[in-house]
Chains A and B, each alone.
Chain A
């Protein structure tokens, strides 16, 4: 699966799509593939804050749990409730299944993230 060029990526396999001040966050195809069938996504409530580099939730498969790391700092304005009942969407459409939307408090943090090309290279090296 190709990594959308307009997204930015973290080394912990999250993606973020930025429009104005709002960032939409999810996990990459590499992440969902490593985890296997996702059974549960644990996300914070709207209104809580993200701190760049810190964990903000978890993704569970049958045999593993992975922490979600915030790519940026910000206030959570929306949480994707669909994932509570249909976590499998993350497997079938990882780059389209968003988890949280945030209002960025420090857009400069984006500069430290990977481009699609760099992320793809990073993933190839991991494997």
Chain B
């Protein structure tokens, strides 16, 4: 087998050196009743060309070359070619975790640079070397707030990505952390009055997302005021990282948890992505995950090491800040390279293009339906209500026009009816937007408006995050 660098003669030679007659002797520790005496029932060994053909066929079934008008937590941005070219170097992608710093300075310095840029983007003082993704980063941020405050209650805005809320619920369940939800108002933002009423002296933190799941940018400063007045911490989750190039960073947050996928990470049907947690220096000992720190070697030369490791599982074990071990280092490297390619000016310009595309899409689609949550600013996503069912529209756009349309919201927010959240990025063509608009059957006069407290429509897909 081509990945096994042994000849039969060498195997024989090694068995002799060991003093074993056959390889079976080396498997004797496994009780005979459990030793397989037949081959596994999996497909036969395949040639490289057969493997490539099989996956090409799968890729074709996946509809490549579609125009994307879909975001909702995973964003279709252009990936500069240097990224894959560089990370394909074996020294990057076949390297291990940098526990031996003398022979891992490449990885460590790249992480240090990544941490720096995340701080610059978020306005926080310290950032970790990555978490699994935005959803688990949010969950870990909530756990972190609990550890810092010693309080045991969390509040999540309902405008936070529904799957993020589901993940937080799973993590919180056995940590003795009851969760509450706070509604959004007609402008798509967190209901401040409801939030104020919901915070108790047991609330560790409030989690909002900005831009939120509807694309709306939250008034972070106003939320922070309410949250801090009651002694709780503010956690801001960011799913569309590119927004940080042009939207005011959440400087009032105590913890920022984000998804960095927009920065040069392929969509890849949902993963691998890269979450990050960034926070203030005073919370440094509560931050989960790896941290790269600057130091010197015995000759005074600058170098980098993993540091504050005593927070982590391999030392602290059951008292660790988290159980996280493997993170998303190679994905963080992609992010690092992406941010260097665009840089200060490029990222800004790219964000401006996203704003322009989204504005055009809002206008074009808005003429065929009703735009929701218009009372607050947004980045590159918006919510449109249509006369027809969003799922049917979505199928028709895919079948007829090779366009992936907005995400139907009914299964997460039944009260919004035929609404979907749409996204336009620098890769979304004008033509695709125009085509999508033309495919939307005209809205009847009057449209639908979401009323807070209106009776929920029947839940079609059978999944919902209920509290």
A and B touch in the complex (CB under 8 A): yes
**A residues bordering B, Cβ < 8 Å?**
39-40, 42, 60-65
In Å, the complex CA distance between A61 and B307 comes to: 11
Given the contacts A40-B310, A60-B310, A65 and B316 also touching, CB distance less than 8 Å: yes
Q: Collect the chain B residues with CB atoms within 8 Å of residue A40's CB.
A: 285, 310
Given contacts A39-B310, A65-B316, 13 further A-B contacts (CB under 8 A): A40-B285, A40-B310, A42-B285, A60-B310, A61-B310, A62-B309, A63-B309, A63-B315, A64-B310, A64-B315, A65-B310, A65-B315, A65-B319
**Which residues of the other chain, B, contact A60 by a CB distance below 8 angstroms?**
310
Q: Please report the C-alpha to C-alpha distance between residue A40 and residue B315 in the assembled complex, in whole angstroms.
A: 14
* Neighbouring B residues of A62 by C-beta, 8 Å: 309-310
Q: Look across to chain B and name the residue whose beta carbon is closest to the beta carbon of A42.
A: B285
The complex places the Cα of A62 from the Cα of B99 at a distance, in Å, of 13
Please give me the 6 A-B residue pairs with the lowest Cβ-Cβ distance, nearest first. A60-B310, A65-B310, A65-B316, A65-B315, A64-B315, A63-B315
Total A-B contacts with CB atoms under 8 angstroms apart: 17
CB A69 to nearest CB in B, in angstroms, measures 15
Bound Cα distance from A63 to B311, whole angstroms: 10
By size class, the interface of chain B is: under 10
Chain A residues near B316 (CB-CB < 8 A): 65
Which of chain A's residues have a CB closer than 8 A to the CB of B310?
Answer: 39-40, 60-65
A42 to B319, CA, bound (A): 14
Q: Encode B230-274 as 1/0 by CB contact (under 8 A) with A.
A: 000000000000000000000000000000000000000000000
Q: Please give the distance in Å from B157's CB to the nearest CB on chain A.
A: 33
State A62–B293 Cα separation when bound (angstroms).
13
In angstroms, Cα B316 to Cα A65, docked, is: 7
Q: Closest residue to B285 on the A side, CB-wise?
A: A40
Q: List 17 A-B contacts (CB under 8 A).
A: A39-B310, A40-B285, A40-B310, A42-B285, A60-B310, A61-B310, A62-B309, A62-B310, A63-B309, A63-B310, A63-B315, A64-B310, A64-B315, A65-B310, A65-B315, A65-B316, A65-B319
Complex: A103 Cα to B319 Cα, angstroms: 29
Chain A residue nearest to B316 in the complex (CB): A65
Specify which chain B residues have a CB less than 8 angstroms from the CB of A64 in the assembled complex. Answer: 310, 315
B457 CB to nearest A CB, Å: 52
Residue of A nearest to B305 (CB): A62
Query: Once the chains are docked, how many angstroms separate the CA of A62 from the CA of B319?
Result: 16
Nearest-neighbour CB distance to chain A for B398, whole angstroms, equals: 54
Looking at A63, A64, A65, which has the most chain B CB atoms within 10 Å of its CB? A65
A127–B319 Cα gap in the complex (Å)? Answer: 27
Within 8 A of A (CB), among B281-321: 285, 309-310, 315-316, 319
Taken together as a complex, chains A and B put the C-alpha atoms of A104 and B33 apart, in Å, by: 63
For residue A39, which residues in chain B have a CB less than 8 angstroms away from its CB?
Answer: 310
Q: Which residues of chain B are within 8 angstroms of A61 by Cβ–Cβ distance?
A: 310
A121–B239 CA distance with the chains assembled, in angstroms: 60
Select the residue from B285, B309, B310, B315 with max chain A CB neighbours within 10 A. B310
CB distance from B314 to the nearest CB of A (A): 9
Return B118 CB to nearest CB of chain A, in Å: 24
Residues 315-333 (chain B) with a chain A CB within 8 angstroms? 315-316, 319
Give the complex CA separation of A42 and B315 in angstroms. Answer: 16
Q: Which residues of B contact A63 (CB under 8 A)?
A: 309-310, 315
CA distance in complex: A42, B321 (Å)? 15
| Shortest Cβ gap from B313 to chain A (Å) | 12
Bound Cα distance from A61 to B310, whole angstroms: 8
Q: How far is B285's CA from A39's CA once the two chains are assembled, in angstroms?
A: 12
Instruction: State A62–B305 Cα separation when bound (angstroms).
Output: 11
B442 vs chain A, min Cβ distance (A): 65
Residue of A nearest to B307 (CB): A62
Closest to A66 in B: B310
Chain A positions within 8 Å of B315 at CB level:
63-65
Residues of B within 8 A of A42 (CB): 285
State in angstroms the CA–CA spacing of A63 and B310 once bound together.
Answer: 6
Q: How far is the CA of A98 from the CA of B193 in the complex (A)?
A: 49
